[in-house]
Amino acid sequence: MRKILIPLLVIVGLSFGLTEQERDRLLMLIQGLYKEKVYSLSAKKAQEYLDKTDPEDPYREKVFLLQLQAYIKEGDKEKILSMIDKVNSYGFSEDTRKKVYGIVLNYFENNPDDKAEVLKRIIRYTQGYERKQLLKKLAALYYKNKRWAKILELPPEKELNLLKLIALYKMGRYMDVIKETERMEKYLPDQKDDVLYYRALAFYKLGREDKAASYMEAITFKTPEVIKFLANYYFKRKKFLLAEKYLKILTLEEGYKDYAFYMLGVIEDQGKRYKKAAEYYKKAAKFKTRYGKLAKKRILQLKKAGVIEFKGKTFYSVRVILFYSEKKAEKFIKKYGLKECFTRPYKKYIAVYCGMYETKSEALKEKKKLIKKGLEDLIIEKIKI
């Protein structure tokens, strides 16, 4: 028995054998080296302090934090990461543990892969609510950086299932998306609409627009994009009353008004209700967008065809060239790819005009673009529609 005890006493003596004087000298040395920016040796001496002092020593946690700062100053990634495991092995207070987590996370803030590694290490030592919150944070990090496969590797947690579903969709695994959305109880109650949305998108990607529309319809709080999808779906199937219903909702949504007014005009146009169509086109024409330009062009066509008459409005446009025939003018537009340009009578000719703008400065920008295409002798004119 005596032979066994002696070696143990020797080991204990080596670990906790510092006198108070030796401890104080070592503390001063660690701090001095750090202040002199000798970080590697400061961290090494800090480790010596941690190895040789009693776990109840009041300065251990401060020395540990200084060691972490020394590794940060050195930029030693592996040692900084290792501090997550070390802080738990020493059994320090929760405040110190959380402080270390925060410092390490902050250090790797701009490196998504390393930050993810930090979170994974922290998760090993957490449980319950804290663990779930960290898993959600890790999943959000993967999502932000499009690490779809990494999201699928996360443990089975109800709070993560929606992100896993999105990851499957982003990876093009549409059949898996459909399979994973068959049981709504796998998701949180407030995620129902999102689950239906991705189920609908998966069917759409697989060419099942009918199924996609049915699940879009089942969404309780429809986003503008869902409403736009349904409007398009019903328009293509000539179910104009349903398309009109959704388009009128879109006229209230910023960023969708131009499209909604233009498509409402198209519906009226197809029913040969040209006056009503023109009213919608005029609303769409107020927007400086693709649909606004299309609306302006259609208004000109309707007026030229003589099917509508209303008080005109003056715009600035760029007159490009004159032809004797409509056919040659259209051929010219096609040749130069002038998709936003249109024809219009000019005296005894057919003129090609590009753009309709409320200010001359906007028309001047259009003129410069056309010059870059190799077109010359361009004139800015006022036209009334």
What would the pLDDT profile of 321-373 be if each residue is shown by its tens digit? 999 998 999 999 988 888 778 888 888 899 999 988 888 998 999 999 899 98
CA 76 to mean position of chain CA atoms:
32
pLDDT digits (tens, 9 = 90+) for 140-196: 999 999 999 999 999 988 999 999 999 999 999 999 999 999 999 999 999 999 999
pTM of the model: 0.68
* Phi–psi pair at 32, nearest 5 degrees: -65, -45
Whether 327 and 295 have beta carbons less than 8 Å apart is answered as no
**Can you tell me the distance from the alpha carbon of 339 to that of 366, in angstroms, rounded to the nearest whole number?**
13
Where does the chain have alpha helices with state H? 2-15, 20-35, 39-52, 60-74, 77-89, 94-107, 112-124, 128-144, 148-152, 161-170, 174-180, 192-205, 209-218, 224-236, 240-250, 257-270, 274-284, 290-304, 326-335, 360-372
Shortest CA distance to 287 belongs to which of 356, 368, 361, 363? 356
Looking at residue 128, the DSSP 8-state letter turns out to be H
Other beta carbons within 10 Å of 333: 19
**Can you tell me the distance from the alpha carbon of 353 to that of 378, in angstroms, rounded to the nearest whole number?**
10
b/e map 109-135, b = 16+ CB within 10 Å:
eeeeebbbbbbebbbebbeeeebbebb
Tokens 């009213």 map to which residue?
279
**Can you tell me the distance from the alpha carbon of 67 to that of 83, in angstroms, rounded to the nearest whole number?**
9
Tens digit of each residue's pLDDT, the chain (385 residues)? 334 333 333 333 334 567 889 999 999 999 999 999 999 999 999 999 999 998 889 999 999 999 999 999 999 999 999 999 999 999 899 999 999 999 999 999 999 999 999 999 999 999 899 999 999 999 999 999 999 999 999 998 899 999 999 999 999 999 999 999 999 999 999 999 999 999 999 999 999 999 999 999 999 999 999 999 999 999 999 999 999 999 999 999 999 999 999 999 999 999 999 999 999 999 999 898 999 989 988 988 888 777 776 556 788 999 999 999 989 999 999 888 887 788 888 888 999 999 888 889 989 999 998 999 899 889 999 887 6
- CB-facing half-sphere around the CA of 219: CA atoms within 13 A: 23
Whether 295 and 262 have beta carbons less than 8 Å apart is answered as yes
Looking at residue 373, the DSSP 8-state letter turns out to be T
Q: Which residues contact 301 (CB under 8 A, 6 or more apart)?
A: 342
